[in-house]
Amino acid sequence: MSTALASSTELRLVEHVARIAEEHPPIRLDSVDFTVKRPREFEARFGHVLDYMARVELEVDRNVLELTTMLPDPPEIDRHFYADVWQPQEIQHGLILDRLQVELGRESAEADLDSIGLKLKVLGALAHLSPFQDVCRMLYYLTGMATERTAVLAYNQLYRGTLDLGEDAVANTIIGQIKRQEPGHYAFYQISARGLWAELAAWQRWMVRLMRRVSFSPVGANNARQKADFGDVMTTLGIDKAPDDFAEQIARVEKELLWARDRGLRVPDYVSRAFHEAVELARARTHLPHLPR
Ligand SMILES: [Fe+2]
Ligand SMILES: [Fe+2]
């Protein structure tokens, strides 16, 4: 990418981050209403979805730790975004959703806040070599896109489901407020991913494709239990009926950038496989209730 193009990406990012910081301050606790008319019904239907989303949102603090390991020397706009804008918004999403589930009589989410996998540590060590840092950055943007797009779709479904149950206070003051903040995060990663992909050399692109293939997982699903939990979330939100449509929406830009050569490809196979696997694990667990939840 030419320097002019690179700096136009950077300019767009600077403007974008300034705008979301201005338009979307972290949600204040006193702006939400935890009133639930029929807590038992609401908990039975959506309790586990709240728990999953609360955990993923609260794990933002581990994500920041992972980021600083994986990207020891990030561009200033990335640092500004994740430290000053993104983290303060996401942590509020987590705290508010967690408080809601506690109000419904559930346990708090069990967020894993400090374990960084060996894989990331290795990446972090390699990232000190600058050409490799760009590979890591690209993986970070791709993960960010998939994560934020999942959040947008999940909160849309949860918002509708909550309204359908007549829980207007939760729908409008909690889910509605949270869901409005996610598209701005998605846009940040999308602009970044498009800009950086254009700058990568062929070997870096090859490496990104390879690493994506071996490491993709749905947001927050880091082991079999969490994958099954994610499958349950998909089922409750009605996404299990068309996992490939869901995968397609999650990975649209990733497909366009990484797999443009494979014309006619609907969705990268590792994305589709991951969502099918989550639904299958959840179904298997329903039939084998002795498995740990
Ligand atoms: Fe969020
Ligand atoms: Fe987000």
- Kindly give the distance from the C-alpha atom of residue 24 to the centroid of ligand 2, in angstroms, as a whole number: 12
Q: What is the chain's Cα-based Rg? A: 19
Are the C-beta atoms of residues 275 and 218 closer than 8 Å to each other?
Answer: yes
Q: What is the pLDDT of residues 1-53, one digit of tens each?
A: 456 667 889 999 999 999 999 999 999 999 999 999 999 999 999 999 999 99
Evaluated on CA atoms 68, 69, 72, 74, the torsion sign reads: negative
- Among all bound ligands, the one having the nearest atom to the CA of 93 is 1
Q: Which residue has the tokens 């940040």?
A: 188
The per-residue pLDDT for 44 is 97
Closest CA to 49 of 241, 274, 238, 243: 238
Q: Are 3 and 9 in contact (CB under 8 A)?
A: no
CA 33 / ligand 1 centre spacing (Å): 18
Burial class of residue 220 in the structure, from the number of CB atoms within 10 Å of its CB (0-12 exposed, 13-18 middle, 19+ buried): buried
Most confident of 114-118, 130-134, 220-224, 254-258: 254-258
Predicted local confidence at residue 264, as pLDDT:
81
Neighbours of 290 (CB within 10 A): 5
Q: What is the pLDDT of residue 290?
A: 53
> What are the tokens at 231?
């499958």
Ligand nearest the Cα of residue 174 is 1
pLDDT tens-digit profile of 153-190?
Answer: 999 999 999 999 999 999 999 999 999 999 999 999 99
Output the pLDDT for position 2: 57
120 close to 69: Cβ distance less than 8 angstroms: yes
Bigger pLDDT: 293 vs 222: 222
> CA-CA distance, 199 to 6, in Å (whole number)?
8
CA distance 138 to 117: 19
Quickly state the pLDDT bin for 71 (edges 50, 70, 90): confident
Q: How far is CA 82 from CA 30, 38, 222, 252, in A?
A: 24, 37, 22, 23
What angle (nearest 5°) sits at the alpha carbon of residue 62, between those of residues 56 and 68? 135
Cα–ligand 1 centroid distance for 145 (angstroms) = 13
Task: Give me ligand 1 centre to Cα 151, in Å.
Answer: 7
The predicted structure's pLDDT at residue 114: 75
pLDDT in tens, 130-160: 788 899 999 999 999 999 999 999 999 999 9
**Ligand having the closest approach to the CA of 189:** 2
Q: Convert the pLDDT of each residue in 93-129 to its tens digit.
A: 999 999 999 999 999 999 887 777 777 777 777 777 7
Of 126 and 265, the structure prediction assigns the larger pLDDT to 265
Higher pLDDT, 125 or 200: 200
The pLDDT of residue 7:
82
Distance CA 257, CA 252 (A): 9
